[in-house]
């Protein structure tokens, strides 16, 4: 006789981002089986109860773009106070010395930092493959699995080095056959296509101007044949637009479309410098945008036209971006940045805390091509973030949900991924944080000293 799996009611939260789940949610195994109305009792059988009366309940936050290896080069003096291209050329020579043990530590630190901020799904864009770092994505898969975090890991690439007019040193450039063969290997080995997937693989040339046109086209064909997603940086700076026009005689989006990338399979990092017609085309195609507020400010890149993109039909998600241009991996803090930066372009009534929470959950899930995460409805994955409002910064707040952003929430009290607690009492489960920080700091020092 099969034993019935136990259920857990996250009961009556202080506030909830979904009015339909104001009374909490009931979880069985890895899924939500019921959203409970405010003041009601569940219709499902309840075996265990977690009293959420002191917590604000959100779906687990979903990060859509990151470079976790960059946690090793935060606040790096030679790269400070520079726009994107000079910033990149300064740091590429450091990143070229990365090895797999360093990447493993960088990945663990970044994923733990994201988890502690309420993030349950981590997307990373890794494109630095030196001779000492040929199995970077394998390292990241192992780290994500050990931590119990959901991951969308992208096999990045660069095929145009400085000898061919590109930005990176030749030591981190790979030939196209190597890139495509490894992309197929990773899809075959790790990609999980079904609902509830913990690991998915996407294909992600660093940018259209860091690989050849042929590689962009072949990558699109490979993604379509394997039904995986496509990701790259696009329209981040005005310099990029000028570079593309000089190199290809096309604006970045025109070049992307010519390579077969303008579709609902694709999500793009930054997406700042699009004109009105391009926004319409992105929306018509259903191409997603990973909005990176802090990075856009640090590098002086510009203001993403988030509301126009979303209104046109383009999914808009939220991202912390790389820890050398942010310089943190905290998605809760990124929500506040998105709110404040958005109000430099739009009226306060147009960019609200509800808008930004939607981007960080449902919008981000859409960017990753998922409808099984990012919400609190029955049938969705039990990915939850619960925040307490008992710090000094929240004292006097009347609206608990708005207080998360306006008062600057930065650390979740409880985080659940696929029905398992991964953060309790503000601390990551099964991780010695002090020891991790010490090892990570040593790795960062060793990377800098390798120059």
Q: Is position 402 within any domain? A: yes
Give 222-226 contacts, CB < 8 A, sequence gap 24+: 222/180, 222/183, 222/184, 223/265, 224/265, 226/184, 226/187, 226/191
Cβ neighbourhood burial of 419 (10 Å; 0-12, 13-18, 19+): middle
Q: What is the pLDDT of residues 268-295, one digit of tens each?
A: 999 999 999 999 999 999 999 999 999 9
Q: Is there a single domain that holds both residue 173 and residue 219?
A: yes
- Residues 6 or more apart from 434 whose CB is under 8 A from it? none
Pair 112, 183 in one domain: yes
Confidence of residue 3 (pLDDT cuts 50, 70, 90): low
**How high is the pLDDT of residue 167?**
78
Q: What is the CATH number of the domain that holds 75?
A: 3.20.20.140
CA distance 222 to 372: 25
Average pLDDT, the chain: 96
Residues 260 and 202 in one domain: yes
Q: Which domain holds residue 273?
A: 61-367
Pair 43, 192 in one domain = no
Place of tokens 């009792």: 41
Least confident of 10-19, 97-106, 241-250, 365-374: 241-250
Rounded to whole angstroms, what are the CA distances from 429 to 78, 277, 388, 424, 425?
A: 36, 48, 18, 7, 10
Whether residue 1 is predicted with pLDDT greater than 90 in this model: the reply is no
Q: 10 Å Cβ neighbour count for 299?
A: 23
Overall average pLDDT of the 94-103 stretch: 95
| Tens of pLDDT, residues 128-142 | 998 889 899 999 999
In a domain, 355, yes or no: yes
Q: What is the CATH number of the domain that holds 412?
A: 2.30.40.10
Pick from 1-10, 113-122, 233-242: least confident: 1-10
255 and 165 within one domain: yes
Q: Average pLDDT for residues 400-419, to the nearest whole number?
A: 98
- Answer with the residue of higher pLDDT: 84 or 254: 254
266 domain residue, yes or no: yes
* Helix, strand counts (H, E) of the chain: 15, 18
In this structure, the answer to whether residues 155 and 23 fall within a common structural domain is no
Query: What's the token pair of residue 76?
Result: 């790096």
Structure token pair of residue 315 = 């999914």
Query: Tens digit of pLDDT for each residue in 347-398?
Result: 999 999 999 999 999 999 999 999 999 999 999 999 999 999 999 999 999 9
Q: With cut-offs at 50, 70 and 90, classify the pLDDT of residue 2.
A: low
Alpha carbon distance 297, 336 (integer Å): 13
pLDDT tier at 207 (50, 70, 90 boundaries)?
very high
């Amino acid at each position: 006789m099969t034993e019935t799996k136990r259920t857990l009611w996250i009961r009556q939260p202080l506030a909830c981002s979904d009015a339909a789940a104001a009374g909490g949610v009931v979880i069985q195994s890895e899924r939500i089986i019921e959203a409970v109305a405010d003041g009601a009792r569940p219709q499902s059988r309840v075996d265990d109860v977690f009293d959420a009366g002191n917590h604000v309940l959100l779906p687990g936050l979903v990060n859509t773009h990151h470079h976790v290896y960059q946690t090793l080069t935060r606040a790096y003096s030679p790269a400070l106070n520079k726009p994107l291209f000079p910033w990149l050329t300064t740091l590429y020579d450091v990143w070229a010395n990365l090895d797999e043990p360093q990447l493993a530590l960088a990945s663990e630190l970044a994923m733990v930092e994201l988890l502690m901020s309420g993030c349950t799904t981590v997307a990373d864009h890794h494109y630095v493959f030196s001779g000492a770092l040929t199995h970077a994505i394998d390292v990241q898969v192992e780290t994500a699995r050990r931590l119990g975090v959901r991951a969308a890991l992208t096999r990045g690439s660069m095929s145009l080095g400085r000898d061919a007019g590109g930005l990176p040193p030749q030591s981190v450039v790979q030939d196209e056959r190597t890139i495509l063969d490894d992309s197929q290997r990773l899809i075959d080995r790790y990609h999980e296509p079904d609902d509830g997937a913990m690991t998915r693989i996407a294909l992600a040339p660093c940018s259209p101007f860091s690989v050849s046109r042929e590689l962009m086209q072949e990558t699109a064909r490979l993604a379509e044949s394997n039904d995986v997603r496509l990701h790259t940086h696009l329209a981040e700076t005005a310099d990029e637009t000028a570079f593309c026009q000089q190199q290809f005689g096309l604006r970045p989006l025109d070049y992307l479309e010519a390579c077969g990338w303008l579709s609902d399979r694709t999500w793009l990092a930054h997406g700042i410098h699009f004109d009105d017609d391009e926004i319409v085309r992105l929306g018509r195609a259903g191409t997603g945008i990973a909005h990176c507020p802090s990075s856009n400010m640090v590098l002086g890149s510009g203001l993403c036209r988030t509301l126009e993109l979303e209104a046109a039909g383009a999914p808009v998600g939220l991202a912390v971006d790389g820890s050398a241009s942010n310089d943190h991996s905290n998605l809760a803090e990124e929500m506040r940045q998105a709110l404040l930066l958005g109000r430099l372009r739009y009226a306060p009534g147009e960019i609200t805390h509800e808008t930004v929470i939607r981007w960080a959950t449902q919008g981000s899930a859409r960017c990753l091509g998922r409808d099984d995460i990012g919400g609190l409805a029955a049938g969705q994955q039990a990915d939850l973030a619960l925040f307490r409002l008992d710090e000094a910064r929240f004292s006097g707040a009347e609206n608990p949900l708005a207080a998360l952003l306006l008062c600057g929430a930065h650390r979740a009290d409880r985080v659940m991924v696929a029905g398992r607690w991964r953060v309790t009492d503000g601390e990551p489960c099964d991780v010695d944080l002090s020891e991790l920080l010490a090892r990570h700091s040593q790795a960062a020092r060793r990377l800098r000293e390798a120059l």
